[in-house]
Structure 1
Amino acid sequence: RKHERVLQKNLQSCKLTKELYGVFFDRAEHWILSFQDPGNPSLVFLDPPYQENHYLQILNRISESDGIQNGSVVVIESPKKMEFEFPQNLEMIVQKIYGGTSLHLLEKH
């Protein structure tokens, strides 16, 4: 998993530790419900395998999680053609298209 090594290297070069920033490389259902309130808003990156179509399930869990505070930003990578109906408390800030990929930035309220 090359992307994991790159992320770990970037965290180290920025002098960020895993204790300060939770880094998870597992299925969302394994960590969202047990995510601990970090004391301030979070930055959540969501890039599930496109073919598994877990987006709505994961977004619902993020929207319901007390551990992911209001003001947190959720970044979603998805196929450009995929359409979303976001949970009511996740407001889209911006959407950008890069080739066949779409990035959505949402804020939790």
Structure 2
Amino acid sequence: MPKQQVRVTFQPSGRTIVVLPHTTALEVAAQAGLTIQTPCGGSGTCGKCRVQFTSGACEPTASDGEQLSDDEIAAGWRLACQTSICEDCVIHVPESSLFASQHQILTETTGEKGE
């Protein structure tokens, strides 16, 4: 019998991916091409990877309870590195949780040396 799969949609990107249950939201986001911040290495101690489940949120983890307020948890906020996907869901990934590259890609140059 094949294992059940769940559908995860990320907003605002609109990317949808089908995965096995019990995969962390962080892993699913990476599979969908989204790089979420994890300065703590995914140990659930920094709170930088917070995402909001707008539908299909699983029960909060102990780390969620330590990093998020009761109101945030009630509104569907979870730590992507600690929360496993348990059913079809929609996850809003705020800009503040995405990894921002420090590199700039130059598309043209003036040919002058900088000081």
Q: Which has the larger helix fraction? A: 1
TM-score normalised to structure 1 length: 0.26
Choose 1 or 2 for highest CA Rg: 2
Greater share of strand: 1
TM-score normalised by structure 2 residue count: 0.26
